[in-house]
């Protein structure tokens, strides 16, 4: 009679997942509470631009972030050989993926700072509420991904889930801000709200 050993659990993986989840929740809650406590300053500027000019600049930057997120997704699929007919991954692909991620994050920061300064976290109006929550979610997901990418003993689904959450966050943020701006202050499926 042969004994079959049960699969060994990796406590390091569980700890890494728990820490990443805790970091995501902490960042989300911290940003949410800070944004709710913030007194909006509708005259806040962004790179010297105010009012409609600041909204236009944010919409343009957000569109750049959306393009970078699409590139990040493509590079990740390439790195993990999930693109059709991809058999080998050139050495620069992972490096480009990291550089694009850093640029994406850096480009998102001035947008987020202006959003928090000018509007805070708003829960009135469905568009503003979805946008505010998605912004907090994006930075929470980013914190989780940074922690997860450093761990080598994770389940195969963990890193793609964190990366996918980031891409979804960027799409929702773009939809509720840049598309709203380019579409004359309206987006399908969400009521009009304060910018």
pLDDT at 129: 95
In a domain, 174, yes or no: yes
In a domain, 3, yes or no: no
**Rounded Cα distance, 162 and 141, in Å:** 6
Report the domain count for the chain.
1
In a domain, 191, yes or no: no
In a domain, 24, yes or no: yes
More confident residue, 8 or 140: 140
Residue 194's pLDDT band (cuts 50, 70, 90): very low
In a domain, 141, yes or no: yes
CB 141 within 8 A of CB 23: no
Q: Is residue 189's pLDDT more than 70?
A: yes
Q: What's the pLDDT tens digit per position in 64-84? A: 999 999 999 999 999 988 999
For the chain, what is the mean pLDDT?
90
Residue 10's pLDDT band (cuts 50, 70, 90): low
Q: What's the pLDDT tens digit per position in 127-146? A: 999 999 999 999 999 999 99
More confident residue, 108 or 189: 108
More confident residue, 85 or 166: 166
pTM over 0.75: yes
In a domain, 195, yes or no: no
Domain that holds residue 141: 11-37+57-182
pLDDT at 13: 80
In a domain, 92, yes or no: yes
In a domain, 158, yes or no: yes
* Residue the block writes with tokens 């389940």: 155
């Amino acid at each position: 009679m042969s004994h079959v050993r049960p699969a060994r659990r990796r406590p390091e993986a569980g700890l890494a997942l728990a820490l990443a989840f805790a970091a995501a929740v902490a960042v989300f809650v911290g940003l949410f509470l800070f944004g709710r406590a913030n007194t909006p300053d509708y005259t806040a500027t962004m790179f010297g631009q105010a009012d409609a000019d600041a909204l236009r600049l944010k919409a343009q930057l957000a569109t750049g972030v959306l393009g970078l997120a699409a590139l990040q997704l493509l590079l990740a699929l390439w790195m993990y050989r999930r693109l059709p007919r991809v058999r080998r991954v050139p050495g620069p692909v992972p490096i480009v993926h990291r550089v694009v991620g850093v640029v994406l994050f850096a480009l998102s920061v001035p947008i987020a700072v202006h959003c928090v300064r000018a509007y805070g976290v708003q829960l009135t109006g469905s568009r503003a509420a979805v946008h505010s929550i998605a912004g907090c979610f994006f930075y929470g997901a980013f914190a989780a991904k940074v922690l997860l990418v450093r761990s080598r003993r994770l389940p195969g689904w963990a890193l793609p889930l964190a990366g996918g959450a980031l891409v979804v966050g960027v799409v929702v943020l773009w939809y509720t801000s840049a598309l709203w701006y380019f579409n004359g202050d309206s987006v399908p499926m969400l009521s009009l709200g304060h910018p």
